[in-house]
Structure 1
Amino acid sequence: MSRSTAPENETLSAEDAAAQSAVKNESVSAPHTPMKARVDVKHPNLTMLGLYLGAFLGMLSETAMNIALPALSKSFGIGQGTAQWMVVGYMLVIGIVLPFTSLLLKWVPSKPLLLFALAMFFIGSLISGLAPTSMFGVLLAGRMIQGISTGLALPMMFSVILEVFPLNKIGAAMGMAGLVVMFAPAIGPTLSGALIGAFSWRAIFFFFAVIAAVAFVCACIWMVNAYKLTRPKIDIISCIASILGFGGLVFGVSLISDIGFTWQVILILVIGIAAVAFYSYRQMHMANPIINLRAFGIRQFTTCALIVMMNFGITLATMYLMPQELQNGMGVAVAMTGLVMLPGGVVNALVSMLSGRLFDIVGPKWLVRGGLVLSMIGVVLLMLAGPTAPVAYIIFAHVILMIGVPMAMNPAQSSALASLPQHLSTDGSTILNTMQQVLGAVITAVATILLAAGQASSHTGGKAMAFVTGSRWGFAFALALAIVAFVISFGMAKQTKSDDASKR
Structure 2
Amino acid sequence: MSSIDKNSIQTKLQHPYLALMGVLIGGFVGMLSETSLNIALPSIMKAFSIETGTAQWLVTGYMLVIAIVLPLSSLLTKHFSTRGLVRFGLWIFIVGSVISALAMDFAMLLAGRMIQGIGTGIILPLMFSIAMRIFPPNKLGAALGVAALVIMFAPAIGPTLAGLLLGVLSWRAIFWSFIVFLIVAWLFMEKNLTNVFKVSKPKVDWLAICLSTISFGLIVFGISFLSKNMPVAIVALVIGLIFLAIYIRQQLHADTPTLDFSVLKTSRFLTGSILVMIDFGITLSAMYLLPMYLQNGLGIAVALTGVIMLPGGIVNAVTSFLAGRAYDKIGAKIMSRLGFLISVIGSIMFILSNSNSSIAYIIIAHIILMIGVPMAMSPSQTYGLNSLDQYQSADGSAIINTFQQVIGAVATGIATILLSTGQASYMANGGHSEALAFTQGAHYGFTFTMILAILGFLIAFKVKDHGGDQIKH
TM-score above 0.5, yes or no: yes
Structure 2 equivalent of residue 472 of structure 1: 443
Percent sequence identity over aligned pairs:
49
Query: How much does 1:38 deviate?
Result: 5.2
* Number of equivalences: 467
- Cα distance, 1:208 vs. partner? 0.6
The list of structure 1 runs, each at least 4 consecutive aligned residues, that deviate by more than 4 angstroms after superposition, is none
TM-score normalised by L of structure 2: 0.95
RMSD: 1.9
CA distance in 2, matches of 1:16, 1:227: 13
1:81-107 Cα shifts (integer Å, max 9, x gaps):
221111111111111111111221232
CA distance in 2, matches of 1:158, 1:412: 16
Give me the whole-angstrom Cα distance separating, in 1, the residues matched to 2:198 and 2:394: 12
Partner of 1:5: none
Trace 1:32-47 onto structure 2 (pairs within 5 A): 39-47=11-19
| Stretch moving more, 87-96 or 223-232 | 223-232
Residue identity opposite 2:462 in structure 1: G
- Corresponding residue for 1:198? 168
1:463 corresponds to: 434
Superposed, 1:239-250 pairs within 5 Å as 239-250=209-220
1:261 and 2:230 aligned: yes
Larger CA deviation: 354-363 vs 278-287: 354-363
How far 1:230 moved relative to its partner?
4.2
Q: Deviations over 1:190-216 (max 9, x none)?
A: 111111110111100000111111111
CA offsets 1:337-378 (integer angstroms, 9 cap, x no match): 111100000111111111122223332222212111111111
In structure 2, what is the equivalent of residue 324 of structure 1? 292
| Structure-2 separation of matches of 1:394 and 1:286 | 51
SS of the counterpart of 1:500? coil
The whole-number CA distance in structure 1 between the counterparts of 2:76 and 2:463 is 32
Structure 1 counterpart SS, 2:225: helix
- 1:237, CA displacement in angstroms? 1.2
Q: Deviations over 1:278-335 (max 9, x none)?
A: 1011011111111010111111111100000000000011101111111111111111
Corresponding position: 1:75 with 2:47: yes
- Compare 455-464 and 328-337 and name the one that shifted more: 455-464
Check whether the contact 2:52–2:416 (CA below 8 A) recurs between aligned residues: no
Equivalent of 1:117 in 86, 89, 108: 89
Partner of 1:370: 338
The one of 425, 429, 448 aligned to 2:393: 425
| Post-superposition offset of 1:496 | 5.1
Of residues 142, 162, 187 in structure 2, which corresponds to 1:217?
A: 187
Bigger-Rg structure (1/2): 1
2:115 pairs with one of 145, 148, 159: 145
Is the contact made by 1:380 and 1:479 (CA closer than 8 Å) also made in structure 2? yes
- 1:162 deviation in Å? 2.2
Residue 316 of structure 1 aligns with an amino acid whose one-letter code is L
Q: What one-letter code is carried by the residue in structure 2 that aligns with 1:415?
A: Y
* In 1: Cα distance, 2:242 partner to 2:99 partner: 35
Aligned mates of 1:231, 1:350 — CA distance in 2 = 42
* 1:388 aligns to 2:356 (yes or no): yes
- 1:342 to 2:314 alignment: no
Distance 1:442 1:294, change over 3 A: same
Deviations 1:98-137 (A, max 9, x none): 11112212322222111110011111111111122xx221
Structure 1 position 98 matched with structure 2 position 67: no
- Residues 263-302 of structure 1: pairs in structure 2 closer than 5 A: 264-302=232-270
Q: Does 1:486 align with 2:454?
A: no
Equivalent residues of 1:98, 1:433 under 8 A apart: yes
Determine the structure 1 residue equivalent to 2:29: 57
Counterparts of 1:417 and 1:16, CA distance in 2: 13
